[in-house]
Amino acid sequence: MKNERLFEALSARARSESPPSVDVAGRVIAILNAEQNRIEQLTEKPLLWLAAASSALAVPAVVVAIIVYNASTGPLYEISQAIAWVAQ
Amino acid sequence: MFLSILPGRIVSLRAERLLVEFVYSLMDSEFVAEDRQKTNASLAAELEDVRLSRRGDSDAYTRLIKQHQSQVSRMLWRFSRDPLVHEELVQDVFVEAYLSLGSYREKAPFGHWLSRIATRIGYRYWKQIARRGETESFSLAEWDELPGKSTDDIDPGRAAEMLHRLLAQLRPRDRLVLTLRYLEGCDVAETARRTGWTKSLVKVQSRRARKRLEKLFAQAGKGLRG
């Protein structure tokens, strides 16, 4: 088959071709560093949101706790507790 | 040579030739041993760089890139002859290789592993082109202008360019197997290794691709000098 023989001969010839020289080291490292930063940011973000949400919940809980504590340790509450004990 | 001028020609020419061959073989074995030592040392250094790269050492990975980029570049020049695309493909190979360094088992040299990634990336690029329906122009007229008896006078770059344009008319699968078998000069086993196909699939695919190539020549209107 003549076509195939020519194809093979051209292929053999093409094998000795030298490609253009490239130096991609700097760009590859830059891409990998950018990718690394992106991944770090992605993993940090959910933690930041979690911290913010738990702080937002914690603040009113602490306020309520202080109010309840103050109410339960007032003089009127102590008198009512003493009456209840005597009544028993 | 000097032995043949000894008085009485004690040593025959045949014996002299054997002696010379023996001396050469001794010298060769020394060179081979030296080469092997160098190869082992460079492989060990390369493996160390791979391990350091896995731990995030960018200097080690830079060394690996510098060591293998010409080999990867040569392979990917078969997949795209546009210098910008070619450079981007080479870049993609090293980015993808870094991201999958964990899957490198260290059983074969790092270069072999890279060649599989390069083939996969080149093939993926061809499939993208095929999906977009982009085809490069192709004419058999250029083939008819080739010198009659020998292809030795053709510039390798021109030969590669012609083959690139011809193979671009085929489906990516056919193009891949013909590129690896003919342009890269890979045998069946090497083609199977690079593509991840079985050897029998490579054989079947090669046969089909050759038939499609022949059909392409026929469709183009003329058999070359046929």
Q: Please answer yes or no on whether A15 and B213 come within 8 Å at the CB atom.
A: no
Least confident of B85-89, B106-110, B152-156: B152-156
pLDDT reading at B35 higher than 80: no
Number of Cβ within a 10 Å radius of residue A21: 8
The SS3 call for residue B153 is: coil
The SS3 call for residue A84 is: helix
| B114 close to B81: Cβ distance less than 8 angstroms | no
* Structure confidence at residue B19 (pLDDT): 65
Report the gap between the CA of B110 and the closest CA in chain A (Å).
16
Number of Cβ within a 10 Å radius of residue B200: 10
| Chain A contacts in chain B segment 198-217 (CB below 8 A) | 210, 213-214, 217
| Chain A contacts in chain B segment 63-122 (CB below 8 A) | 65-66, 69-70, 73-74, 76-77, 83, 86-87, 90-91, 94-95, 98-99
The whole model's pTM is what?
0.72
| A32 close to B58: Cβ distance less than 8 angstroms | yes
Helices B199-219 and B156-167, packing angle to 10 deg? 90
CB-based contact, B220 to chain A, within 8 Å: no
Residues in chain B: 226
Give the mean model confidence (pLDDT) for residues B27-38: 61
ipTM of the predicted assembly exceeds 0.90:
no
In chain A, residues with a C-beta closer than 8 Å to the C-beta of B98 are: 28, 32
State the best of A4, A28, A32, A40 to mutate against chain B, taking most chain B CBs within 10 Å: A28
- Host H or E run for residue B50: helix B13-54
Distance CA B65, CA B4 (A): 54
User: Which of B58, B88, B93 is closest to B72 using CA atoms?
Assistant: B93
CA distances from B197 to A85, B108, B190, B192 (A): 87, 18, 10, 5
Least confident of A39-43, B14-18, B22-26, B79-83: B22-26
End-to-end CA distance of chain B: 52
The SS3 call for residue A54 is: helix
